[in-house]
């Protein structure tokens, strides 16, 4: 894979389409493990924001199962996806291509939010809100963790910043 690829930014955008806080939470977890992102990391190196991202990621997993949880395509849901995907997409982009990474992640997250919502509604009709949400959580969190783990891995024995 080319060093200037934006594939990790696009993939983390797909994660944001289903769970808005998971991209930032997975990057925050990677930072706690002292892993570095290829692109410049905005905010999540500060303990308040890092811990906040982790708390919001966990909170979203619980809140999604509530009967009153709004659809992910309402204005605030899309705004959260834009912000989280943008921050994570920039962090996972190659150094110097952070802006392109942010745009790629956002351009992936927003349209896919409508597709992931449609899929979730079909799953809810078949198995209920909680069960479908738990399955979606497992898939999305695993995908987010895998994407971030692949993106932040050290190259040539050195960690990239």
pLDDT above 60: residue 1: no
pLDDT at 42: 74
The torsion region of residue 96 among left (phi > 0), alpha (psi -120 to 50) and beta comes to left
Q: In angstroms, what CA-CA distances link 34 with 9, 28, 29, 136, 159? A: 20, 10, 9, 28, 10
Mean pLDDT of 85-108: 96
Dihedral-angle region of residue 143 (phi above 0 means left; psi in -120 to 50 means alpha; beta otherwise): alpha
Please give the average per-residue pLDDT across 45-67, as a whole number. Answer: 89
Task: With a cut of 60, say whether residue 117 has pLDDT above it.
Answer: yes
- Higher-pLDDT residue of 9, 129: 9
Which candidate, 57, 50, 49, 43, places its Cα nearest to that of 15? 57
Task: Please tell me the pTM assigned to this model.
Answer: 0.89
Query: Residue 3 — pLDDT band, cuts 50, 70, 90?
Result: low
Q: In this model, does residue 92 exceed pLDDT 80?
A: yes
- Beta carbons of 45 and 31 less than 8 angstroms apart: yes
- Has residue 161 got a pLDDT over 80? no
């Amino acid at each position: 894979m080319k060093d200037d690829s934006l594939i990790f930014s696009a993939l983390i955008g797909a994660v944001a389409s289903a769970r808005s806080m998971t991209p930032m939470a997975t990057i925050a977890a990677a930072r706690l493990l002292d892993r570095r992102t290829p692109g410049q990391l905005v905010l999540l190196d500060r303990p308040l924001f890092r811990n906040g991202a982790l708390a919001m990621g966990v909170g979203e997993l619980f809140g999604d199962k509530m009967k009153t949880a709004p659809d992910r395509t309402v204005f605030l849901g899309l705004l959260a996806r834009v912000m989280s995907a943008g921050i994570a997409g920039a962090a996972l982009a190659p150094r110097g291509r952070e802006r392109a990474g942010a745009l790629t992640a956002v351009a992936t997250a927003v349209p896919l939010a409508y597709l992931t919502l449609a899929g979730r509604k079909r799953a809810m009709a078949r198995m209920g809100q909680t069960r479908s949400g738990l399955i979606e959580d497992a898939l999305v969190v695993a995908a987010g963790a895998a994407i971030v783990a692949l993106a932040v891995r050290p190259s040539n024995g050195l960690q990239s910043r």
